[in-house]
Amino acid sequence: MNQRNVVVTGIGLVTALGIDRDSSWQALKAGRNGVGPITAFDTDGYRTTFAAEVKGFDPDAYMDPKDSRKADRFSQFAIAAAQQAVDQAAFGTPPDPFRCGVIIASGIGGMLTFEDQHTKLLNRGARGVSPLFIPMMIADIAAGLVSIRFGLRGPNYCTTSACASSGHAIAAACDQIRLDAADLMVAGGSEAAVCPMALAGFGNMKALSARNDDPTTASRPFDRERDGFVLGEGAGVLVLEEEAHARARGATVLGRIAGHGATGDAFHMTQPDNDGAGAQESMRAALRCAGIAPEQVGHINAHGTSTPFNDKIETLAIRKVFGSHADRIKINSTKSMIGHLLGAAGAVEAAATILALREGIIPPTINLRNADPECDLDYCANEAVAQRVEFALSNSFGFGGHNLTLCFRAVP
């Protein structure tokens, strides 16, 4: 079977920096910060009191109000990002809906709905729980709602692998097209876990930064004084398409998916293995899939969580994969600006990587003020870098030892 090339024809974003693709991307390039004190609920008594919240989002701008009330916030984000991506791809009514599918990931699912309904159960008993509780809460419902909205009847499911979830969704969607099971896929991830349970859970395991006196500098990937990640929310969705299919209908090609690689650490519930072997092999597998040499990679959108162990191990893994060429790669972490979107992180970062290749501008890693001798690569510290790159990687690593690397190629 001939290789079916996969291209990106649409991008949608909802982040703490903007509720659409263009505002989010302009803010990322400018190095703006989306982190601040939490406004959604009272944080008194919590170890961490700040997050990267999405502000000013109106689901009724994308959904009928009757429908938006039946959707958890993570599903609302997914529909908004999908609408943006579909509008940009401009594919209209799919000619064959069974050849067009949806894979939308979430690591957490409808936690806001879960919290709300659990409170009602405790206060009012079993009859107080809404009959919509289950369909609003389950992680796959965002994919289902997107498929219903656009009439896409091909492969339809959710991937859940913690912080690698939406990276896996994009890789799986790419495979559906390459295997000739689909011509077009809407793929990405959504998360809305800025809520008491998540803040308490991540905070009590000391995964979150506790820099409450200065939250705007709390997310500082690769910095010597990093002390944990910042919880974020939002969504990223891509329209993937078989290249000949896209060209035939006159679609604008934004970038190509050259390859992907996935591994498991088989090491620890939350920590990567000590030499980053899983992360190394994930990147090597993506390079093999793309059919390129390590020296052809010019940019890596790092997982870069701002946690002490992760950033050090990812740096080590990059050095082992790329050798001396690692010093010439422009590396950044968008999490420094929008926090960690958990299951949605991979898709948002994939979108940022594609836009960086398309414009020749690599957003900065902000708050990187104090060099860590164990993090000694070029992280585009505090300033965007104007540089044309042909191939770029985007890394996503999740609790449970899930590793996923996407490889993108610029379109001339």
Cβ-proximal residues to 371 (8 Å cutoff; 6+ apart), any chain: 223, 224
Hey, what amino acid is at 277?
Answer: A
**Catalytic position from the list 100, 158, 163, 174:** 163
Is residue 163 annotated as part of the catalytic site, yes or no? yes
In 3-state terms, what secondary structure has residue 195? Answer: coil
Q: What domains are defined for the chain?
A: 6-248 (3.40.47.10), 261-409 (3.40.47.10)
Is residue 340 annotated as part of the catalytic site, yes or no? yes
Please give the pLDDT value at position 27: 98
CB 320 within 8 Å of CB 171: no
Q: Token pair of 359, please?
A: 């414009």
- Cut 0.75: pTM above it: yes
| Helix-helix angle 141-150:73-89, to 10 degrees | 40
Please give the pLDDT value at position 317: 98
- Spatial separation of the C-alpha atoms in residues 171 and 4, rounded to whole Å: 14
Please give the pLDDT value at position 2: 58
**Catalytic position from the list 168, 245, 299, 303:** 303
pLDDT tens string, the chain, 412 residues long: the values are 457 999 999 999 999 999 999 999 999 999 999 999 999 999 999 999 999 999 999 999 999 999 999 999 999 999 999 999 999 999 988 879 999 999 999 999 999 999 999 999 999 999 999 999 999 999 999 999 999 999 999 999 999 999 999 999 999 999 999 999 999 999 999 999 999 999 999 999 999 999 999 999 999 999 999 999 999 999 999 999 999 999 999 999 999 999 999 999 899 988 888 899 999 999 999 999 999 999 999 999 999 999 999 999 999 999 999 999 999 999 999 999 999 999 999 999 999 999 999 999 999 999 999 999 999 999 999 999 999 999 999 999 999 999 999 999 999 8
Please give the pLDDT value at position 1: 42
CB 315 within 8 Å of CB 377: yes
C-alpha dihedral sign at 204, 206, 209, 210 = positive
- Spatial separation of the C-alpha atoms in residues 203 and 210, rounded to whole Å: 8
Please give the pLDDT value at position 125: 98
**Catalytic position from the list 340, 375, 380, 407:** 340
Is residue 299 annotated as part of the catalytic site, yes or no? no
